[in-house]
Amino acid sequence: MAKWQEKRSFWTWGFESDEPTEAQRRKAAEAIAKRTGTFVEPPVVPDIEDIELRKSRIDVPSALAGWVSDEHEERALHTHGGHVTEILMALRGRFDNPPDAVAHPRDENELEATLEWADTNRYAVIPYGGGTTVVHGVSVPEAADGAVTIDMDRFNRVLEVDDISRAARIQAGVYGPDLEDALRPAGLTLRHFPQSFPWSTVGGWVATRSGGHYATNHTHIDDFVESTRMLTPRGWWESRRLPGSGAGPSPDRLVIGSEGILGIISECWLRLQKRPVFRASAGVVFPRWLAGGQAVRCIVQSKLWPANLRLLDPVEAAQSAGLDGQQALLIIGFESADIPQAQPMREAVELARECGGLIEDEHIRIDDGSGEATGRGGAVGAWRDAFIGVNAGATAGLGMLADTFETSITWDAFEDFDALVRERVGKALGSVLGDGSSLSCRFTHVYADGPAPYYSFSGPAVIGGEVAQWQEIKAAATEAVVEGGGTVTHHHAVGRMHREGWERQRPELFGKALAAVKREVDPNGILNAGVLLE
Ligand SMILES: Cc1cc2nc3c(=O)[nH]c(=O)nc-3n(C[C@H](O)[C@H](O)[C@H](O)COP(=O)(O)OP(=O)(O)OC[C@H]3O[C@@H](n4cnc5c(N)ncnc54)[C@H](O)[C@@H]3O)c2cc1C
């Protein structure tokens, strides 16, 4: 079944088929109890029909009734995004601020009619892709008197494939797996795989400047956007397909990362690639985390451009790849549609060894596309399974608070930055979650001038007090990241969660200029109030 036809879960990441079973939640509770010493019975998942919702404040006109509804289940399904605190709220039956109506426009006429209706009535509008936002990007603004969520799931087609230029015209609501299924027969791929790939959409990726899981080179969705088409309350904003252009500021650059405050992206042309055939992977062990960082810098600055160059600190290497807790792990991966990858892999491994990295040659895995890979690949497979299999629903409400924050920083500042973040966040974790908390880091993306460190924290939580505990830790993390010179987000977007931190990092005049653009295209301020701008 295509992803857009599947039923989304109303309480956890993904679709109903992704929901953890009772047995899986109990197993998670037992594992947490081993760490905290307290077994917490998994909370009962409420029935969606039993959830109490505020009465809808909107009368849906009959002319729009074919695709706009104020029905209970629709409103509940679109109340929360994907942040761990939202999963907790949903699991506890808390749906305090639902949208009043949900639209599923099937074409641009219906999209125009919906936006015009909302604008005339000054309803808040929330564009919605897969709802995987972890920065409160699809929440209803508190101050709204009426709110309409516009779910783009019926914009679910790849409209054209230009295999000469290698690009495709793709509607905004296409989910990751449906996109790849549509491109596969032509031997093409977008090759953009955020961790939320199965549950998120092309429109969401472009709106949030998502980052795929390839560590170097083409990794942000920005790199793939050829042109965009977006509906604003003042009309259409459409750019010309161009491989590159020096004609002034780029109209696409304002659309990419606009997080639904300027308009609703209906489709875009994205650049494609041939599907890779040649692959190589290796896991290199380092006795010290910072030595691993040094190796990453040498490899990325050598311009070998591995597809994967992911450094796990000793805590992460132990948790997700089974190492001893003392050593860091560097996962190196290469792939190409045209060129065998054994040689660049050998060069990258040599650079890693020069920085103190340890790997036996037999652990380098080379796949030349014949189906007969050589080498064992070491810890890489274990890490990949842990990365793909994640679902926060399994551990929600079990007395353990866990979340992540991600950033980027230039190499010259990285060492001091990492020490500052670990010190400040470590202190906050100690005082809020107490003994048994942990903080770890991996590089999700790396650039020639710096890494994108991704920190994960967890620790025993007070049942019912998790949100307040999370707020305190998050405030310490944001403070440390901004003070240390990093960005408040490398790929999770700004949303409402990072708005204040972003205000501190962006030029003040830029904020004013963005607000002026918003006033021009959205004079009544109906679109995603509180996201990016106050
Ligand atoms: C488990 C998990 C893993 C994740 N991993 C990654 C990762 O590896 N990389 C990464 O970048 N992010 C990641 N995220 C965050 C999230 O998946 C991304 O921000 C993603 O791009 C959101 O896509 P979506 O379709 O779900 O959009 P939504 O969550 O529905 O919306 C995101 C924002 O974009 C706006 N929006 C959505 N569609 C449109 C549209 N058509 N036009 C205008 N505005 C729109 C919404 O209003 C909202 O503000 C992860 C999230 C989860 C839960």
Q: Which domains does the chain have, with CATH numbers?
A: 46-154 (3.30.43.10), 158-274 (3.30.465.10), 278-380 (3.30.70.3450), 392-494 (3.30.300.330)
* Lookup: tokens for 413: 């500042």
pTM, to two decimals: 0.97
Three-state DSSP at 496 gives coil
- Please state, for a pLDDT cut of 70, what percent of the chain lies above it: 97
Rounded CA separation 329/432 (Å): 29
Mean of per-residue pLDDT scores for the chain? 95
Q: How far does residue 326's CA lie from ligand 1's centre (Å)? A: 35
pLDDT of residue 378: 57
pLDDT band at residue 531 using 50, 70 and 90 as cut-offs: very high
Q: Find out whether the beta carbon of 486 lies less than 6 Å from any atom of ligand 1.
A: no
Q: Which residues, other chains included, contact 92 with Cβ-Cβ below 8 Å and sequence gap of 6+?
A: 43, 46, 397
Q: How far does residue 157's CA lie from ligand 1's centre (Å)? A: 19
A 10 A CB-CB count for 127 gives 27
Q: At what angle do helices 342-354 and 289-301 cross, to 10 degrees?
A: 140
Q: Which helix (H) or strand (E) holds 225?
A: strand 225-232
Average pLDDT over residues 359-379: 79
Q: How far does residue 220's CA lie from ligand 1's centre (Å)? A: 13
Q: Give 289's DSSP letter.
A: H
Question: Do 390 and 362 contact (CB within 8 A), yes or no?
Answer: no
Residue/partner pairs of 16-24 with CB below 8 Å, 24 or more apart: 18/198, 18/199, 18/391, 18/393, 19/45, 19/393, 20/391, 20/393, 20/394, 24/394
Q: Which of 128, 154, 384 to mutate to test the pocket of ligand 1 (most atoms within 8 A of CB)?
A: 128
- pLDDT at position 377 over 90: no
- pLDDT at position 486 over 90: yes
- pLDDT at position 373 over 90: no
Length of the chain (residues): 534
* Lookup: tokens for 483: 């003070």
pLDDT of residue 306: 96
Rounded CA separation 358/260 (Å): 46
Q: Which residues, other chains included, contact 465 with Cβ-Cβ below 8 Å and sequence gap of 6+?
A: none
Q: At what angle do helices 84-91 and 466-483 cross, to 10 degrees?
A: 170
Residue/partner pairs of 414-417 with CB below 8 Å, 24 or more apart: 414/293, 414/450, 414/451, 414/453, 415/290, 415/293, 416/484, 417/453, 417/484, 417/485, 417/486
pLDDT of residue 412: 98
Q: How far does residue 130's CA lie from ligand 1's centre (Å)? A: 7
Q: Which of 13, 104, 155, 196 to mutate to test the pocket of ligand 1 (most atoms within 8 A of CB)?
A: 196
Q: How far does residue 504's CA lie from ligand 1's centre (Å)? A: 23
Rounded CA separation 95/53 (Å): 6
Question: Do 510 and 431 contact (CB within 8 A), yes or no?
Answer: no
Which residue's alpha carbon is at the smallest distance from atom 1 of ligand 1? 196
pLDDT of residue 5: 92
pLDDT of residue 320: 85
pLDDT of residue 389: 64
pLDDT of residue 383: 61
pLDDT of residue 368: 83
Task: Please calculate the CA angle 189-192-194 and round it to the nearest 5 degrees.
Answer: 145
Q: Which of 195, 218, 395, 456 to mutate to test the pocket of ligand 1 (most atoms within 8 A of CB)?
A: 195
pLDDT of residue 133: 98
